[in-house]
Amino acid sequence: MYKETVYSAFNLLMHYPPPSGAGQHPQPQPPLHNKASQSPHGVPQLSPLYEHFSSPHPTPAPADISQKQVHRPLQTPDLSGFYSLTSGSMGQLPHTVSWFTHPSLMLGSSVPGHPAAIPHPAIVPPSGKQELQPYDRSLKAQVESKVEKEAKKPTIKKPLNAFMLYMKEMRAKVIAECTLKESAAINQILGRRWHALSREEQAKYYELARKERQLHMQLYPGWSARDNYGKKKRRSREKHQESTTGGKRNAFGTYPEKAAAPAPFLPMTVL
């Protein structure tokens, strides 16, 4: 079963990029209006970064978030939208990158200078639920309660990197082009396509990612990627490495059996 999808993915890969003109991007990608970038409600508000306002994934706000929670999502129906980021200064990006479809950057009422009632579905409890356990007075229960409480703290997600932004945008297109639905196979294709992009095209996404990081830092000054460490249950280190890579990453950050990484590319065109 999985083999079939792999073969299917392989067939698709064999046709992309075209054998001739390797390294050339075949066609300018038309605007992609997938579900994550479909709402072109222009709401320029905070900064040039916020050019669009859309609502692709109206994540319901947690039912019970502590008042202490700085980034408390608000449930204002009129504003149940999402910001998204366009190319901004880059101008050439033919699409609207659904910037604020990335939950971690959903604005909350605590954002300095930001209008209060912007939903912040990104900051959600890891489980997506706010179900409370009955209080148990036993010591064990208290400890467990603490652990649970900690685990249910709303999470501020990492900002998306360039590839993640690309993947989020192009996923629907790849799915439309093939019969695959499994994300693992889709992501393999997207990884190949990413490498097939020209540097200029990649630079657009690197720039978007850089802006994401910048804004993320502004919104959550004290946030660290470490905050989310351990919130995902993962297999043991060895097993994970064996199954996914068969080895260690090389100096390029890729793995031995994979295609060689392109020449080092510094996307920082704006500093």
Contact between 208 and DNA per CB under 7 A: no
Among 110, 130, 145, 254, binds DNA (CB under 7 A): 254
Stretch of 78-86, 108-116, 133-141, 226-234 lying at the interface with DNA (CB under 7 A): 226-234
**Dist. CA 202–CA 196, nearest whole Å:** 9
Smaller CB distance to DNA: residue 17 or 191? 191
Cβ contact 81:41 at 8 Å: yes
Nearest distance from C-beta of residue 44 to DNA, angstroms = 24
Q: Tell me the longest C-alpha to C-alpha distance in the chain.
A: 71
CA angle, 27 as apex, 22 and 31 as ends, to 5°?
140
Q: Is 219 exposed, middle or buried (0-12, 13-18, 19+ CB in 10 A)?
A: buried
**Dist. CA 210–CA 213, nearest whole Å:** 5
Contact between 151 and DNA per CB under 7 A: no
Contact between 3 and DNA per CB under 7 A: no
**Dist. CA 96–CA 119, nearest whole Å:** 20
**Dist. CA 197–CA 201, nearest whole Å:** 6
Q: Which of 229, 227, 210, 206 is nearest to 218 (CA)?
A: 210
Contact between 248 and DNA per CB under 7 A: yes
Contact between 149 and DNA per CB under 7 A: no
For 219, the enclosing helix (H) or strand (E) is helix 199-219
Cβ contact 9:182 at 8 Å: no
Contact between 195 and DNA per CB under 7 A: yes
Stretch of 21-29, 63-71, 144-152, 186-194 lying at the interface with DNA (CB under 7 A): 186-194
**Dist. CA 193–CA 251, nearest whole Å:** 22
Stretch of 21-29, 63-71, 107-115, 218-226 lying at the interface with DNA (CB under 7 A): 218-226
Among 150, 243, 263, 271, binds DNA (CB under 7 A): 243
Contact between 251 and DNA per CB under 7 A: yes
Contact between 194 and DNA per CB under 7 A: yes
Contact between 95 and DNA per CB under 7 A: no
Indicate the length of the chain as a whole number: 271
**What are the residues binding DNA (CB under 7 A)?**
1-2, 36, 57, 101-104, 122, 127, 155, 157-158, 160-164, 167-168, 171, 181-184, 187-188, 190-191, 194-195, 202, 206, 209-210, 213, 224-226, 228-235, 237, 240-241, 243-245, 248-249, 251, 253-254, 258, 261, 267
